Amino acid sequence: MAWTFDKDVMVDGPRRHVVKITGTSDGTGTDTETTAVDISTLDVEGRSVGRMRVNSIEYDTTVALKIAWDATTNDEIANIKGQGYMDWTPYGGRTDPQSTGSTGDITINPQSTASNDQFTVTLDCIKKPA
């Protein structure tokens, strides 16, 4: 089974979307990428979401994580490990560059499969209409 993931949407407002993702490894299998935010399931006041902006990431993790925009070649948002908080709000947030093959989704990829590796990541995002 390798990794199990749980997602808790904390806020899904007209523009703001906050999601907490937790993951735990049982020590078997390989590293597994998961979709943290699937924009096809979101809307902005009844309109589809065309793009997301990540304002901040709060994290507590025993394993290195790659957080990225899903694309043919994923576009990095952040590489994290340990405990911390990254806030790009004063700079306008981190916006999906919409590279070739972009889905607009945000993925998390743990870089280990050791038993009892775990993480909690909270993404604070802004939804932009299509």
Q: Provide the CATH number for the domain around residue 78.
A: 2.60.120
pLDDT on residue 115: 85
Q: Under a CB-based contact definition with an 8 Å cutoff, are residues 97 and 41 in contact?
A: no
73: three-class secondary structure by DSSP: coil
Q: What are the Cα distances from residue 100, in Å, to 12, 47, 75, 97, 103?
A: 28, 23, 10, 9, 9
What pLDDT sits at residue 83? 98
Q: How many secondary structure helices (H) and strands (E) does the chain include?
A: 0, 9
Give the closest residue to 119 by CA, choosing from 68, 83, 70, 94. 83
**What is the spatial distance between Cα 20 and Cα 24, in angstroms, rounded to a whole number?**
14
The confidence score (pLDDT) of residue 28 equals: 78
Question: What is the model's pLDDT at position 41?
Answer: 95
Which of 34, 73, 75 is CA-nearest to residue 51?
A: 75
Ranges of residues in the chain with a pLDDT under 70 are: 1, 29-31
Please give the residue range of the domain that contains residue 11.
3-129
Predicted confidence at residue 29, as pLDDT, reads: 66
What is the tally of structural domains in the chain? 1
Instruction: Report the C-alpha gap between 20 and 40 in whole angstroms.
Output: 18
> Token match 């990428």: residue?
33
